[in-house]
Chain A
């Protein structure tokens, strides 16, 4: 990844508090267009909170978020989604009562604009949109190799496939920035390899910028262009995988400081 690539998202001096508890303290980093950016850190380091700030689910008390050149104090979920930020969740957040296809189609909700009237009588834009977006959803389904299960209710799928459907739903929105919260948690080696391949393909084929949280260090080091390390809500290190790996503060945080 070229060092000069333009920045897609910058967070500056983010501080997030829940009552008296500080989840994030003065965290700053940036995400460049087209890169895979990893956020790592021990449990409770504030990684998920960081993603929640970026897509507007949490509202940090201090700091600024600049996305696509626009600076704001806080994101709003609707705003983030409509400007091309999609995400997956640590604990799968699929719509369990709906089929795989319907789940993926919800990813395209923001791109549909037929009126209530057209939908009620299923004519005009309502009809043409359903068909056009179905084609788009099927592309994503093909890409992630989940064709065979497209009409299955997601509640009946095994865990690994659910994770994949969740990624499909996020991809269906054709995001510019994709936030992945532990996409490989709880997977076996094979599933992890599949998922890694998908992530790399998404990045390479669609040019999607990706920010991911992951615990498996091997995966992180292989996949990501740059890594930011959080610990107790503060930024500990930031750089390429190699730089981070040899950073003394990071080693201390992970292995315990040697006295």
Chain B
């Protein structure tokens, strides 16, 4: 009985008593949600355009960040480092297409998925072989003061705010690009039907390189944000795995789904940790997202925004 009070009544009472604190927790959660959203966005882009469930997306975030911070630490100007990393991510996309994807055309999705696990391991080893495995702090001039709103009762990290605005900007650009540019149209066509797209002359291989490069760009942005907060380190790729439950929540094929799913998960796990964590012995952030995903699988397997798929024989 006591447990039920602690579970249902206590946390709610706390929230009501100190709404500013709740808002602060929620905002902090939203900000880590932005990170999940950005990783999830990379997943969705590649999944939509090639049907590949790219397990390596999380490691790409790490790899991009490692390259960026590594270049900066060796004295390169941030903007040049940014451009250089973009070039590296594009080269990576080309290499992945030439060395892996091209040879796996018409293979089952499971094989493609497992091959991205291989890519993930390779990249992780490669990145750390070049740049070392130490935690590297990252300062690119993103403001890291705190500001207070609502008469000083709610505290916000400026870096978080910056991340949120950047993410929103990125998503808008990508969504518009997807809708109104020729490349975007081609991408949607490929996503819809590979063979049909090929038959009207859309070069499939180029399209794949483009999406992987765009996913690399998104990974770089996510990596910079994350690196600013936590330092660039190996654990980024593990945290990035949380984008998978985010996708179950949002649906595998929906860009807005990835964004909203990421925000919900980010906020949900923070609030759960702060208000319910102690009751369960702490560290429930580690699995909260996954259990939410499991519950979703039970009741709404296609996610919030995903498509229902009709099978044909």
Which residue numbers of A lie inside 8 Å of B, CB to CB?
18, 48, 52, 57, 89-91, 93, 181
Contact = CB atoms under 8 A, between A and B. Distances in A.
10 contacts: A18-B310, A48-B313, A52-B313, A57-B311, A57-B313, A89-B313, A90-B313, A91-B313, A93-B313, A181-B313
Interface residues of B, number: 3
Contacts of A52: 313
Contacts of A90: 313
A48 B313 CA distance: 8
Interface of B: 310-311, 313
A90 B313 CA distance: 7
Contacts of B310: 18
A170 to B, nearest CB: 14
A46 to B, nearest CB: 13
B226 to A, nearest CB: 41
Nearest to B313: A89
A259 to B, nearest CB: 33
Nearest to A87: B313
Contacts of A48: 313
A181 B312 CA distance: 13
Contacts of A89: 313
A91 B312 CA distance: 10
B312 to A, nearest CB: 8
A73 B219 CA distance: 51
A206 B18 CA distance: 79
Contacts of A57: 311, 313
B107 to A, nearest CB: 12
Given A18-B310, A57-B313, A93-B313, 7 more contacts: A48-B313, A52-B313, A57-B311, A89-B313, A90-B313, A91-B313, A181-B313
In the A-B complex, the 7 residue pairs with the smallest Cβ-Cβ separation, listed nearest first, are: A89-B313, A57-B313, A18-B310, A52-B313, A93-B313, A48-B313, A90-B313
Contacts of B313: 48, 52, 57, 89-91, 93, 181
A18 B311 CA distance: 11
Contacts of B311: 57
A101 B310 CA distance: 31
B195 to A, nearest CB: 13
A52 B310 CA distance: 13
